[in-house]
Chains A and B, each alone.
Chain A
Amino acid sequence: MLRKDLRLELRSGESTLALLALSMLVLVVLVFALDAARVRSFDVAAGALWVAMVFSGMLGANRALLAERDNGAIRGLLLSPLDPGTLYAAKLAAALIFMVVAEVGAVILMVLFFNLEFDASIARLAPILALGAIGFSALATLLSAITGRTRGGDMLLPILAVPIFVPALIAGVKASAAALSGVPLDSMGQWLKIMVAFDVLFVTAGYLLFEHVVGED
């Protein structure tokens, strides 16, 4: 399933290009709006990075399930012996891969636009961004299975996903700002615990609930 999703993506390249373009757009707008290149601010850089991540994550999760709506392929999957939980895991993995690719691009752009250095603080961002990507992909994959069945579902996804993601988003921004300013990871335990709890909650909920939300009625 994952191999098929990646093959479709490599063939079209639509999602990856759109995610990178969106990340770049968000960062450029925020850099100019906040005059951030002149005023070196870790808080603003972390905030901008997470805004780019959330937008690209929504696009990635939507795209991962969109291919299954063409020709009703999702029905073919539901009729097959495939366990719906496995289907969720495959879709989550695809969304996660797209989001990680977008994150790598967004981090490079953030360093360039916000006048930061490629040093150990960037490496410290990796586990924080990974936790954020897992949590947001898990949430957005579950929600896009619901919104994809409704007219205007693309519009509905951010309305549902962003408010639910707020606790992990706050924790991610705070932890990222701390990491960029040189604070070691063990001093941000409280933020990381919130993110881990969010990930566990939504990966489990997605795995258990997916068959109920992706069906036809």
Chain B
Amino acid sequence: MSAPVVETHSLAKTYGLTPVLREVELRLMPGAGAFVIGGNGAGKSTLLRILAGLEAPSDGYALVFGQNTRKLAARYRRRIGVMAHQSFLYPNLTARENLEFYGELYSLADPRTSAEMWLERVGLADVADSRERTFSRGMEQRLSAARAMLSEPALLLLDEPFASLDHEGVEIIASLIRGAVEHGASVIATAHAILEIEGVDFAAYEISRGRLQPHLHKEEGRRGGRIRSLLGR
């Protein structure tokens, strides 16, 4: 039996005296996906930052690929793609230059070809040579998705991937997530409300006041808290 890609145990995070995450238990097997749903300030982004190794938990621990996220070696960081509220992109570089730069960081065989392929996939090939600072929020979000998926990571951590996107953008990102899952990637995506992507069957969790629990959708509750995806087509 394969080991979980993500595993947390009694994970807690406190900022000052304010608890943001409490006793979070999460397990994600290879090729599986999970939606984490919650309101503003519920702790979704904090959870993803801890899983990515950007923040330390106050208590408990998180393992990704069996490694403690506090000490993730380069070979494990290489296998994680993160899409956050901030795009991690350079405003004064073009879309192509941004992706090429990240392609070089991840030692891709041909960063230029990879950049062009991903620009095509996210529908930004026409503006490949425009500086990122000229992009709308939605275009920036799509470029950020391309950056996160450029190295075809085994684990995708997506923080509100559909925020600020128009219908076309939602379709594109949904199709990228579907493609990643089909290639065996594990995905954790956060959102304010239930996300449903055609062809993707993710477990659903709700995070409220820092506590993570299985989300029971009205109609899907009978199926043990799993949701079937409807959005996309």
Using a CB–CB cutoff of 8 Å, the interface residues on chain A facing chain B are: 1, 4, 7-8, 11-12, 67, 70-73, 75-83, 215-217
A79 x B77 contact (CB < 8 A): yes
- Residues facing A in B74-107 (CB within 8 A) are 74-75, 77-78, 80, 82, 84, 86-93, 97, 101-102, 105-107
- Add 10 more A-B contacts to A7-B97, A67-B90, A81-B74 (CB < 8 A): A4-B90, A8-B92, A67-B92, A70-B90, A72-B87, A75-B88, A76-B89, A79-B77, A79-B82, A81-B105
A-B contacts counted at CB < 8 A amount to: 70
Given contacts A7-B97, A12-B92, A72-B87, contact A78 B105 (CB under 8 A): no
Is B198 an interface residue, CB under 8 A from the partner?
no
Closest 5 CB pairs of A and B: A76-B88, A72-B86, A81-B74, A81-B78, A80-B105
- Minimum CB distance partner of B132 in chain A: A71
Mostly helix, strand, loop or mixed at chain A's interface?
Answer: helix
Contacts of B188 in A (CB 8 A): none
Residues of B within 8 A of A82 (CB): 74, 105
A residues less than 8 Å from B147 (CB atoms): 76
Give me 30 A-to-B residue pairs in the complex whose CB atoms sit less than 8 angstroms apart, sorted by A's number.
Answer: A1-B105, A8-B92, A67-B90, A71-B86, A71-B87, A72-B87, A72-B88, A73-B88, A73-B89, A73-B90, A75-B54, A75-B82, A75-B84, A76-B82, A76-B88, A76-B89, A77-B105, A79-B52, A79-B54, A79-B82, A79-B88, A80-B102, A81-B75, A81-B77, A81-B78, A82-B105, A83-B74, A216-B49, A216-B55, A217-B55
A71 vs B87: C-alpha distance when bound (angstroms): 6
Bound complex: CA of A29 vs CA of B147, how far in Å?
48
Q: Which of B74, B80, B89, B102 contacts A71 (CB 8 A)?
A: B89
Complex Cα spacing A8 to B106, Å: 20
**In contact, B92 and A216 (Cβ under 8 angstroms):** no
Q: Find the residue from B49, B75, B89, B90 having the highest chain A CB count within 10 A.
A: B90
Task: Give the Cβ gap from B98 to chain A, nearest Cβ, in Å.
Answer: 9
- Chain A residues with Cβ below 8 Å from B80 are 79
Chain B residue with minimal CB distance to A68?
Answer: B90
Q: Least Cβ distance of A77 to chain B in Å?
A: 7
Which B residues contact A (CB, under 8 angstroms)? Answer: 49, 52-56, 74-75, 77-78, 80, 82, 84, 86-93, 97, 101-102, 105-107, 132, 147
Contacts of A4 in B (CB 8 A): 90, 93, 97, 101
Known contacts A76-B147, A216-B49, A217-B56, A81 near B89 by CB under 8 Å: no
Chain A residues in 8 Å Cβ range of B52: 79
Contact check, B89 vs A215: say whether CB atoms are below 8 A apart.
no
Cβ contacts under 8 Å, A80 to chain B: 77-78, 102, 105-106
Check A71 against B88 for contact (C-beta < 8 Å).
yes
Contact A81 B107 (CB under 8 A): yes
CB of A114 to closest CB in B, whole Å: 37
Instruction: Check if A215 sits within 8 Å of B54, measured CB to CB.
Output: yes
Please tell me if the beta carbons of A81 and B106 are within 8 angstroms of each other in the complex: yes
Residue on A nearest B73 in the bound complex, by CB: A81
Question: Which residue of chain B has the shortest Cβ distance to A12 in the bound complex?
Answer: B92
- Contact status B90-A71, CB under 8 Å: yes
- How many whole Å from A69's CB to the nearest CB in chain B? 10
A91 to chain B, nearest CB (A): 14
In the bound assembly, the distance between CA atoms of A82 and B73 in angstroms comes to 10
Q: For A71, what are the chain B residues with a Cβ–Cβ distance below 8 Å?
A: 86-91, 132
Contacts of A79 in B (CB 8 A): 52-54, 77, 80, 82, 88
Check if B54 sits within 8 Å of A78, measured CB to CB: yes
Q: Is the CB of B77 within 8 A of A70?
A: no
Q: Quote the shortest CB–CB distance from A158 to chain B (angstroms).
A: 26
